[in-house]
Structure 1
Amino acid sequence: MMTRYLLGIDNGSQSTKVTVFDERGVTRASARVPLRPNDTPRPGVVEHPEDDLWDSIGAATRAALASFDGRPEDIAGVGLCTIRFCRALLRADGTLAQPVLSWMDERVSRPYEPTNPEVRYVSASSGYITARMTGRFRDTAANYQGVWPIDTDTWSWVDEPAIPREMLFDLVDPGELLGTVTTEAAAHTGLSVGTPVFATANDKAVEALGSGLADDRTLLLSLGTYIAGMTTGSRNVPDAKAFWTNFACRPGRYLYESHGIRRGMWTVSWLRDLLGDEEALNAGAAEVPPGSEGLIAVLDWLAPVEAPDRKGAFLGFDGRQGRFHLYRAVLEAIALTLCGNGAAMAAELGTEFDEVLVSGGGAGSDVLMRIVADAFGKPARRAEGGAELGAAICAAVGLGVHSGFDEAVTAMVRPGVRFAPDPGTHELYRRLRQTYEQVRGYTDPLFGWLARQ
């Protein structure tokens, strides 16, 4: 039987990654194209410049197909995953009436307000890219949350949405057909005209699917621009305190997401650009004692809405520390913050995590994986797949390559390297976690005072 190839698109906050997989989940070609810096013309406004999302998807898809041993017509289907919480305002033909609003734009935290007469449709970024790719105004239900007029129990629009229904796209479940590649999109991406395109979900849920998260005894640490801990279940839990309920990338399932770190891995990238080569920084950080000799990082490089004066900081310099301490302190802050947030979520869900699954670019760092295992006191496993694989799994299910999501995950997701915790280091981190949980009680008044000067 001829091998069927699946193309997964992961349009993220910092880059677009496109990978060609076979039906067993083996990578056959891949490419990555960085996004351009966001436009920030005034405080609170964060926009993707011009048509950057669509341009990067076209460039990354063409590059992946150029390195693929097969032909474009060998691609059986496409899974489409884009950045969550963005807002796209479209003309009647599906093109942008104005730049896409980033998830960091303060306007996306408020319901849509009509100000531009050119706007005919209001959608998430996934709806916009679907329209460009297929010419159809359909989108996954699983990329709408928050201020969108979505019923999280039925995965459908509410009966009387605040946005006129004719301005909203039709909704489908993950794994359902969105449409097929148009002639114009084929020229832009290099895909064949008529290639089926399938719905996925929000990018965190697609990443969870591709990482192999399948039960509530595993915590997935998603190391992206926004870092969060996630687990999965079958209940919609609308009023939780330590987490919020999102749609999973399986119809009828939910993703429970802890409080997280805004600009999480962005901060790591920023520090790497200041301090030097990532490989050297990881090697040096591995030689720094746990606890970074008293240096701690407060990871607030982007203030939350409820504490707008909050800032990031390094605390505890005394002359012993160098650049490797700075780097390790950030990695420890990530692990200890998510350890506390994950524990609060587990307690509210009435579960306990047996293992920590780690996905995203930071999972490639052995020193970070060891810090995670030691902080949690649980085995940490490196995820071998991510959002591109999750998108390809959705295409595989939609095409019938595999009979359902369980079969597809079993066939296409492989377990990664496992890191065991060190009991002594875990005890040190257990004590240090209390410091991290209390430090903002001291830094918030300081930054509030500085903001008033």
Structure 2
Amino acid sequence: MSARYLMGIDVGTQSAKVVIFRTDGEVMCSAQQPLRALEIPQPNRAEHPDDDLWYSVQQACRAAMTRFHQLGGQDHQLLAAGLCVIRCCRVLMRQDGELAWPVINWMDARLNQPYQPAPEYGDVRWITTTSGYITHRLTGQTRDTSANYIGCWPMDDASQTWDDSKMASCHLRRDQLFDVVRPGEMLGEVTSTAARASGLPLGLPIIATAHDKAVEALGAGALAQGEALISLGTYIGAMVHGDTQPHASEHFWPFQAALPGHFLYECMGVRRGMWTVSWFRDQFGAAALQDAKDTGVDIETLLGAEASVVAAGSDGLITLHDWAAPAEAPWRKGAIIGFDGRHTRAHLFRSLLEGIVFTMKNHLDPMMQALDRPLTQLVISGGGANSDLFMQLFADIFGVPARRNAMRSSAAIGCALNAGMALGVWQSYQEGVTALVKTGETFLPNARHHALYQQLNQQVYQQLHSVLDPLLKRLSPLVEA
């Protein structure tokens, strides 16, 4: 029997990634196309320029298929593709399927409110998500996954169908919305137009997944009762799987999972999380870049190595991650405090990472307590999981083992899992996880460092908002005018 393959199409905030897997779990090939920088026309606005999402999907798919064919793969061996695209965005489409307005990104304040028609939007026929839009581009269908409607949408998560009683409050009509299917169900097949544009085989089945973080959780294999996934992306999130939709809690939100019939519980995360690391590298890394070239390593490896020899706690340098203020506290800003003459770029880099982990601990711990689930292990996904230092900080600050998988980008695996189950490749999702998820290293906590971090967190980090908020409230009107 010839080899069979599954494709994962994973479109995040920064790039489109396509991975082709053999059904036994081996990666055949992959490709990635960076997205262009977001356009920020004014404060609290963020849009994807032109038709960048679709362009990036085309380029990544074409590159992956070229490599697939070079390695001997044939179109008929590719069974299906699972599609996962950035959540919490809004897409306004014309009748002809073209964009009526640039895709509104999740960092845009307009998405804190229901859809508001505006004259500048022009002739809007459909209001959908990014996954609905890319589905339409690939298949011509007005169909979307039910599990990517987060925020101001009239979706009933329990039944995974539209809720007519919520239409008016969301300023939407049913005829403006796509039909929805559940994760693991068919969205459509690649059209001849899409095949020419993307290089994908004509008629390739496109399978629904969920929103990007839910697909990551499935693809990371974070299915056990005490396991939590921490997804290191532009938005850093933490989540666990559950069987039921619990009552609302101030500490987390339940969403539809990529695992059919299940829910994903997610706490607050860090907006512009890994962006902060890139910001530091790009704005202050000129000297480090030259040092990295001189030593023959990349700049992230150099900064990580330097920060690894800095004492736990960064000799008192504390970073508060509020680079993108939450809707309920728009005056908040990021802060770095505690500078003295000892501090170097290595201290600052380590403090940025420690601040991310402190923030995630202070969100994840209350969620686990509300769910009455002791946390036993972290699974870390995303590019940041390549850093041994970052992995050790998660273990030390949380006080539990932190595991990374062989493939850091787990959303592509989750896409392939949904696609494989739709085609009957495996009998269960657990069987699929066993086939596709290859575990990597586990980092164990250092008890002495954990004790110090507990003190820093309880005595300093958890007090920062109460101390700084009054000052930042006074600062905001002075600098935002």
So what's the TM-score if we normalise by structure 1? 0.98
Counterpart of 2:46 in structure 1 is: 46
**Match for 1:321 among 343, 360, 364?**
343
Counterpart of 2:86 in structure 1 is: 83
Matches within 5 A, 1:104-253: 104-115=107-118, 116-160=121-165, 161-162=167-168, 163-253=172-262
**Match for 2:397 among 357, 375, 379?**
375
Q: Is the 8 A contact 1:282 1:367 kept in 2?
A: yes
Q: 1:2 is aligned with what amino acid? A: S
Matched, 1:336 2:358: yes
1:54-103: CA deviation from partner (whole Å, max 9, x where unpaired):
00011111112222212344321111000000111111222211111101
Q: Is the 8 A contact 2:100 2:122 kept in 1?
A: no
Counterpart of 1:12 in structure 2 is: 12
Q: 2:84 is aligned with what amino acid? A: C
For the residues of structure 1 that align with 2:42 and 2:75, how far apart are their CA atoms? 43
How far is the alpha carbon of 1:216 from its aligned partner? 3.0
Q: 2:209 is aligned with what amino acid? A: T
1:114-150: CA deviation from partner (whole Å, max 9, x where unpaired):
2345111110100000000000011100001221000
Q: 1:339 is aligned with what amino acid? A: K
Matches within 5 A, 1:386-397: 386-397=410-421
For the residues of structure 2 that align with 1:437 and 1:66, how far apart are their CA atoms? 51
For the residues of structure 2 that align with 1:284 and 1:402, how far apart are their CA atoms? 45
For the residues of structure 1 that align with 2:75 and 2:97, how far apart are their CA atoms? 25
Q: 1:154 is aligned with what amino acid? A: S
Greater shift, 192-201 or 159-168, is seen at 159-168
Counterpart of 2:292 in structure 1 is: none
For the residues of structure 1 that align with 2:44 and 2:94, how far apart are their CA atoms? 24
For the residues of structure 1 that align with 2:18 and 2:461, how far apart are their CA atoms? 37
Q: 2:9 is aligned with what amino acid? A: I
1:285-305: CA deviation from partner (whole Å, max 9, x where unpaired):
111110000001011111111
Q: Is the 8 A contact 2:405 2:439 kept in 1?
A: yes
**Match for 1:443 among 461, 464, 468?**
468
For the residues of structure 1 that align with 2:477 and 2:182, how far apart are their CA atoms? 48
Q: Is the 8 A contact 2:111 2:151 kept in 1?
A: no
Work out the percentage of aligned pairs sharing the same amino acid: 48
Greater shift, 67-76 or 265-274, is seen at 67-76
Greater shift, 288-297 or 34-43, is seen at 34-43
Q: Is the 8 A contact 1:211 1:390 kept in 2?
A: yes
Secondary structure in 2 matching 1:439? helix
For the residues of structure 2 that align with 1:207 and 1:80, how far apart are their CA atoms? 12
1:303-343: CA deviation from partner (whole Å, max 9, x where unpaired):
11111111112111101011111110011111111112111
Greater shift, 427-436 or 400-409, is seen at 400-409
For the residues of structure 2 that align with 1:216 and 1:109, how far apart are their CA atoms? 32
Q: Is the 8 A contact 1:14 1:34 kept in 2?
A: yes
1:236-281: CA deviation from partner (whole Å, max 9, x where unpaired):
1241111111111012211111111100011111112232411100
Gaps of 5+ in 2: 289-298
Q: 1:159 is aligned with what amino acid? A: D
Q: Is the 8 A contact 2:57 2:198 kept in 1?
A: yes
Q: 2:136 is aligned with what amino acid? A: A
For the residues of structure 2 that align with 1:78 and 1:41, how far apart are their CA atoms? 35
**Match for 1:405 among 423, 426, 429?**
429
Greater shift, 397-406 or 168-177, is seen at 397-406
Q: 2:429 is aligned with what amino acid? A: F
For the residues of structure 2 that align with 1:202 and 1:155, how far apart are their CA atoms? 13
Secondary structure in 2 matching 1:325? helix
Greater shift, 328-337 or 438-447, is seen at 438-447
Name the count of aligned residue pairs: 453
Secondary structure in 1 matching 2:312? coil
Q: Is the 8 A contact 1:13 1:35 kept in 2?
A: yes
Matched, 1:271 2:284: no
Q: Is the 8 A contact 1:138 1:172 kept in 2?
A: yes
Q: 1:171 is aligned with what amino acid? A: V
Greater shift, 241-250 or 406-415, is seen at 406-415
Counterpart of 1:416 in structure 2 is: 440
For the residues of structure 2 that align with 1:122 and 1:451, how far apart are their CA atoms? 34
Q: 2:302 is aligned with what amino acid? A: A
Secondary structure in 2 matching 1:30? strand
Q: Is the 8 A contact 1:296 1:333 kept in 2?
A: yes
Secondary structure in 1 matching 2:36? coil
For the residues of structure 2 that align with 1:324 and 1:73, how far apart are their CA atoms? 51
Counterpart of 2:454 in structure 1 is: 430
RMSD, aligned α-carbons: 1.2
Change (3 A) 1:256 1:54: same
Greater shift, 7-16 or 37-46, is seen at 37-46
For the residues of structure 2 that align with 1:25 and 1:323, how far apart are their CA atoms? 41
Q: Is the 8 A contact 1:6 1:395 kept in 2?
A: yes
How far is the alpha carbon of 1:112 from its aligned partner? 1.3
For the residues of structure 1 that align with 2:25 and 2:456, how far apart are their CA atoms? 40
For the residues of structure 2 that align with 1:31 and 1:202, how far apart are their CA atoms? 21
**Match for 2:263 among 240, 254, 264?**
254
Q: Is the 8 A contact 1:238 1:244 kept in 2?
A: no
**Match for 1:346 among 368, 373, 377?**
368
Greater shift, 348-357 or 212-221, is seen at 212-221
For the residues of structure 1 that align with 2:381 and 2:405, how far apart are their CA atoms? 5
For the residues of structure 1 that align with 2:44 and 2:343, how far apart are their CA atoms? 35
Q: Is the 8 A contact 1:335 1:372 kept in 2?
A: yes
For the residues of structure 2 that align with 1:199 and 1:95, how far apart are their CA atoms? 21
Q: Which runs of 4+ in 1 moved over 6 A?
A: none
Q: 1:360 is aligned with what amino acid? A: G
Counterpart of 1:61 in structure 2 is: 61
